Structure formats: C-alpha cells, structure tokens
Structure 1
Amino acid sequence: MNTAETQVKAVNKPAAKTKTKRKWKRWAIHLFPIPALIIYGLFIVYPIFAAFTYSLFDWNGLVRGAFVGLENFEALFSLQPYKDLFWNAFQHNILYFAVQMIVQNGLAFVLAFIIYKKIKGAEFFKIAFFMPRLLSIIVVGFLWKLILNPNFGALNVILGKFGLENLQKAWLGDPDTALMAIILVNSWFGLGFAVLIFLAGIQSIPHELIEAATLDGAKGWKMMSKIIIPLMMPAITIITVLTFIQSFEAFELVYAMQGSQGEPYHSTDTLAIYFYRLAFGGTSGGGSSAIGLGSALAVVLFLFISVFTAILLYFMRKKEVEM
C-alpha cells in the first residue's frame, strides 16, 4: 500500500466517524419525545379507547359483565332519569358557552382594545387582568364559595352596607342564581387569558393598514367591523374554540363550588359533573350499569366536542383574511 492511499484512509476515517456520530445524534433527538408520548398515551389516548370499550358492556360494580352493544347509549337517551338529567346538563353547558362568549370574551375584546390604545397604566391592567389565571381553579372555587356565602360572604355584606338588603341572596343555594354565579366566576377567572389573546390579535395587524383605513375615512364602528375584526379572526377563532371546549368540559369549578350532585336540584349539573356522578358516584340511577352508562356519556361528550370543534374551525377559518 503506497503512502498516498494511507493518507487518504487516514483522512476518511475521522470523516466517517464524524458522519456516524451525526447520524446517531440525529436519531437520539427523536428519543426525547418518547417519555411524553408514553404519558400522553397512558393518560389521554388509552382512557378514550377504554371508554369506547367499556360503553359496550354491562357492569356489576367494577366487574365487567356481558357484551350489550349500544344498550348503554339507548338507556342514556331513552330511560328515566338518565334522559332528563342528560338534556338538563346539556342545556347548562350551552348556557355556559353562551354566557362566557358574551360576558368573558365580549368584555375581554373591549379591554384588549383599550389596552392597545396605550391608555395610562396599560401594562398594570394587563398584569391585573391575568392574575386570577395564576391561581388554581380549585382555589378560585373555594374562594368564591366563601364570598358568596349567604351568612358571612363578602358580597352580601357589601350589599348590606349599601342598604341593598333586598338584593342579598343565597347565591349558590338558589336554583335561579347558582349556575349563573358559577359561570360568572369562570368568566372572571378566564378574562385575563382572553384579553391577552385578543391583544396579540390586535397587535398583529400592521399599523400601516390602520393608518391607510383612517385616511380613507374609516372610523369608529366602520373601522372595527371592516378592518380590525376581519384581521383579528385567527385570534377570535382560537378563543371561540377554546371557550367552546372549556364550556363543555366544565367540571373543576362546578365541583369545587357545588360538589358532584349538581345542587340545588340539579340546577348546576354539567355533562362532565353528570358523567362523574354516573360513573363513580353511584347516584342518580347508576345501579349495576353505572360504569357502562358513564362511559357511554363520555363517548357522546367526546364525539360532540370533536365534531363541533371541527365545524367551528372550518367555518371560522373561512372568514379569516390574509394580510
């Protein structure tokens, strides 16, 4: 072997090692998501498929019985008290979504626009509006449960100080006010997040477009409806979809403030609360088929949220304007 060949091999050997090392590093990068995928699979994907399976069987407590096909779904929508409780909870979820869209997101849009206008103390308001979001939803629930207490709660005490005793109520004990109180607390909790999303949407609009529209005579509502809202549609889409999903998965705050029974008289039932009570609480007619019926309800809720989220995304993205 001549000297030239030896030198070529000596040069190629480190190059080959470097190439192999780079390949190994490239493959090693793909190993990092594996723990997260395993956790996601165990706690998200597996329960979804398990619920589909469990809904097709009869159950004797925690013991799986015979295969019953779609009987659990049929019972959920046709037998009492399941049918009435399902539609009662479903109506509450719709109200939950509607009020949050109007109160939480409507107010958030206005506040975001005011902050965008660089009012004095805008940075402070951004932080102040977002502060409740830093608290645990369970903590928020117990805090507001104390505030709304009919005997020593801060709200009734303040109303009494201002001579408004006629407005004092057992806010969480009255079927007419209990659900609305919880929804408004949820709106207070989520306001800051919605403000930041809308503010980001407004700030993403090129300032030149707003200046050009102003020169063309667009002002007030015309500017808002023709320029700002169409160009903010990505942010509006995000917050609408997130609000819809959160409204139909409402559980933690309702549970913290009213427990799992939907008190008073099922006036605060949501589909998630009803599912929990049906599958694990053994009340409201759960009987030996509680897990099967609860799984059927979970499947219905999952499909409903998935389908309507896809529909919302489809129609709202069609309204988005490219800048």
Structure 2
Amino acid sequence: MSDVDTKAAFDAVPIKRPVRWHILVFLFPAFLVYTVVMILPLIETLRQSMYNLVDGQLAFVGLANFKVLFGDVRWAHDFWNALRNNLVFFAIHMCVQNPIGVMLAALLSLPKLRFVAFYRTAMFLPTLLSFVIVGFIWKLILSPIWGVAPGMMDLIGLKSFFEPWLGKPGTALIAVALISVWQYVGIPMMLIYAALLNIPEEVIEAAECDGITGWSQFWKIKLPLVLPAIGIISILTFVGNFNAFDLVYTVQGALAGPDGSTDILGTLLYRTFFGFQLQLGDRSMGATIATVMFLIILAGVSFYLFIVQRRIRRYQF
C-alpha cells in the first residue's frame, strides 16, 4: 500500500472525541439553583391556576379561574385596567427610554468627546441605586408641599406649570414611568454604546472614503449595524415592564393610586395573592394572574425570536 493510500485510510477513520463530563459538573449547580428558584415555582403557579377552594378543599376547576378573571365584572375591570396601564408603561419606555439611550450612546461614541468615562459613569449610576431610594427621592422632589421641584421650576419661570403629578389620575402613570426611565436609561445606553464600539474600523473607514461622515454616518451606517442590539434592548424592556412592580409599589403603594391609575399587572398580582389591608389573599386567582402575565411575556418573546430577530439577523457580522 502506498503512502497516499495509507494517508487516505487514516483520514477515513473517525476521531473519537472524549466526552467532556466536566462541563455538566460545572453547569449542574447553576441548573439546580435555576430549577429550584425559577422552573419549579413556574410549574407550581401554572398548576395552582387550575385549582380553587371548593367547600374548604382544594379542587381542580380547569379554566374556571380564567373565566372569572375575564368574565366577572369586578375582576375583569381590575385586570383590563392593569393591562392597559402596563401597555402605556411599556410604550413610554419604548418611545422615551430607548431612543434617549441610543442618542446618549451616539454622543458617547464621538471620538473627540472629552471626559467620556465620567459621563458614562454619571448616566449609568441611577441604575445601580435601589428602587426604594429612587422612589423615595422622587416622591420628595415632586411633592407639592416640601418638594424641590416647584422651587426649581420657579427659578426658570415655569412654576405655573407645576402640578402634583403623582397625585392626579391623569398624570400619575406617566410620572412613575418617567421616573423608571430616568433610573434605567443607562442600560440601553451601555448596550448600544458597546455595540457601536464593536463596529469594525474598516466599515467606518470605507464610509469616510465615500464621504459619509458625522450624523449622516450614524444614521446610514452605524444605526443599521446596531439594530440587533436595539432588538435585544426592546425585548428586555418588554419583559422588564411586564414584570414591573417594585418602583410602582414604592412610589404609589400597593393600591397603585390614585384611583388605580398606576395599577399594573405586578401590583394587581401582589394585592390578589397576598392580600392588602382587610382584603384576604386569593392564591388561586393570584396564580391565574401570574399565568396570564407569563403567557403575555412568552408571546412577546416568541414574536421577537421567530419574526423580528430573523429580519435583523442580516445586519450582524
């Protein structure tokens, strides 16, 4: 047998790769914690939504709890009000927070800008603050009695426009949403900023050779290339907003006042499951609301993964 035939026969023999069992060993602790903290509670919540107390005994009722949630006048009113407020809350974040994050990232990526590290840290700092601190600070700022907002607006001649925004049903939800935008705008800013820095220099140099510079370069070259990052930010905003609870609870309390104008699905779930003041908690209806929240988030994430992401994948390197 010639050397060529020997080499061909050797190449035809498949190489057995060792099984990397150590990967499973390293993943097992994280998988165990995730299962205990996330998967098992989710399964129990889905199961609980199909049970209810009948004559003092826990009995399987199928989709009866969902019929009550959507069909009973009192439950349906509270649920649709919370869902509508949640959609407004999400829309404000999408239309205000994310565009501002993109704009700030574009400004930080300017090559001639000085003190970039300071600006980046200052704008990201609110994200690191506790929601309790943020809610308490903004309640003090916007208070018409002892807040600093009326005095600051008076300095620039706008005191006549000041109103108790957190105390009026028409403006309370917008005010809380803008507080949330102020706190979390650093997240989309940093993600977009990282995506802009990751654009290859060859692309920028080619654009400059074609005479595309300045903001024209950003809109025509950079922005399309960071669309995948914007897509990820959008779905993270969607998931975060439909899981929101803490800031609304801190600023407006469990009743999400005034008159339920800031009530979202998270606060409705809290009051239903745990009860509030003289209202007793209902675990079955609380689990039903949590299941609906899960289905809404699952639908949004699936829409992004199977439709939106496929369309923006062509911009990825």
When the two structures are superposed, what TM-score results if normalisation uses the length of structure 1?
0.84
1:245 aligned partner: 239
1:102 aligned partner: 95
Contact 2:270–2:286 (CA under 8 A) maintained in structure 1: yes
**Does residue 82 in structure 1 map to residue 72 in structure 2?**
no
Ranges in structure 2 where 5+ consecutive residues have no aligned partner: 1-17
Task: Work out the CA distance in 2 between the residues paired with 1:246 and 1:97.
Answer: 9
1:205 aligned partner: 199
Task: Render the CA deviation track for 1:246-293: whole Å, top value 9, x for unaligned.
Answer: 111110100111111110011001111111111112589x778x2211
Alignment map for 1:247-266 (pairs within 5 Å): 247-266=241-260
1:310 aligned partner: 302
Kindly report the root-mean-square deviation, in angstroms, between the aligned alpha carbons of the 2 structures: 2.5
Contact 1:237–1:313 (CA under 8 A) maintained in structure 2: no
1:168 aligned partner: 162
Residues 115 and 28 of structure 1, relative CA distance in 2, 3 Å threshold: closer
Residues 152 and 64 of structure 1, relative CA distance in 2, 3 Å threshold: farther
Residues 217 and 27 of structure 1, relative CA distance in 2, 3 Å threshold: closer
Task: Work out the CA distance in 2 between the residues paired with 1:33 and 1:143.
Answer: 41
**Does residue 297 in structure 1 map to residue 305 in structure 2?**
no
Q: Greater shift after overlay, 156-165 or 263-272?
A: 156-165
1:233 aligned partner: 227
Task: Work out the CA distance in 2 between the residues paired with 1:64 and 1:48.
Answer: 23
Alignment map for 1:55-204 (pairs within 5 Å): 55-59=49-53, 65-118=58-111, 119-204=113-198
State the Cα distance separating 1:315 from its structure 2 match.
Answer: 2.8
Task: Render the CA deviation track for 1:115-138: whole Å, top value 9, x for unaligned.
Answer: 101312222111111111111122
Residues 29 and 319 of structure 1, relative CA distance in 2, 3 Å threshold: closer
Task: Work out the CA distance in 2 between the residues paired with 1:314 and 1:128.
Answer: 37
* Percent identity (aligned): 37
Task: Work out the CA distance in 1 between the residues paired with 2:114 and 2:24.
Answer: 48
Q: Give the residue type in structure 2 aligned to 1:294.
A: G
Residues 235 and 276 of structure 1, relative CA distance in 2, 3 Å threshold: same
Q: Give the residue type in structure 1 aligned to 2:304.
A: L
State the Cα distance separating 1:65 from its structure 2 match.
Answer: 2.3
State the Cα distance separating 1:221 from its structure 2 match.
Answer: 6.0
Contact 1:248–1:271 (CA under 8 A) maintained in structure 2: yes
**Does residue 39 in structure 1 map to residue 33 in structure 2?**
yes
State the Cα distance separating 1:83 from its structure 2 match.
Answer: 0.9
1:276 aligned partner: 270
State the Cα distance separating 1:309 from its structure 2 match.
Answer: 1.0
State the Cα distance separating 1:32 from its structure 2 match.
Answer: 4.2
Task: Work out the CA distance in 2 between the residues paired with 1:252 and 1:71.
Answer: 30
Task: Work out the CA distance in 2 between the residues paired with 1:66 and 1:29.
Answer: 43
Q: Give the residue type in structure 2 aligned to 1:83.
A: A
Task: Render the CA deviation track for 1:96-129: whole Å, top value 9, x for unaligned.
Answer: 1111112111011111111101312222111111
Contact 2:104–2:189 (CA under 8 A) maintained in structure 1: yes
1:319 aligned partner: 312
Residues 165 and 233 of structure 1, relative CA distance in 2, 3 Å threshold: closer
State the Cα distance separating 1:88 from its structure 2 match.
Answer: 1.2
Ranges in structure 1 where 5+ consecutive residues have no aligned partner: 1-22
Task: Work out the CA distance in 2 between the residues paired with 1:208 and 1:155.
Answer: 48
1:3 aligned partner: none
2:9 aligned partner: none
Task: Render the CA deviation track for 1:176-209: whole Å, top value 9, x for unaligned.
Answer: 1111111111111111111110001111111221
Task: Render the CA deviation track for 1:34-75: whole Å, top value 9, x for unaligned.
Answer: 3433332222111111111111111379x6522211010011
State the Cα distance separating 1:27 from its structure 2 match.
Answer: 4.9
Contact 1:59–1:291 (CA under 8 A) maintained in structure 2: no
